Amino acid sequence: MSISITKDLTEAVGIPRAVFVKWPLGHPMGERDNPAQQRTLLFDALQLLVEAEEPGIIREPGYRWRRETYSEPDWTALY
């Protein structure tokens, strides 16, 4: 499992499961002081681990850097 900000490298390495976000280098988990954003991305990664049925999946949730409002994820959805 990987959280990636460089899709071409992630594809080349062949990571079995990844969440790709088009965010600036050095910020794979999001903006500092934005815990809801960071938890949302972590939730997406864990959800991919639960749902993925085959290797090679790169999920792109489509979040935009500094243009989204995040709320706390529903952690019970992972059970």
pLDDT at 3: 97
pLDDT for position 52: 94
Look up the domain containing 44 and give its range: 2-78
Residue 57 CA to its chain's centroid (Å)? 12
Residues 15-71 pLDDT 10s: 999 999 999 999 999 999 999 999 999 999 999 999 999 999 999 999 999 999 999
Q: CA 16 to CA 36: how far, in whole Å?
A: 26
Provide the number of structural domains found in the chain. 1
Bridge pairing between strands 17-20 and 2-4 = parallel
Q: What is the pTM of this model?
A: 0.90
> Radius of gyration of the chain from Cα atoms?
12
Where residue 79 falls among pLDDT bands split at 50, 70, 90? confident
CA 27 vs. chain centroid, Å, equals 11
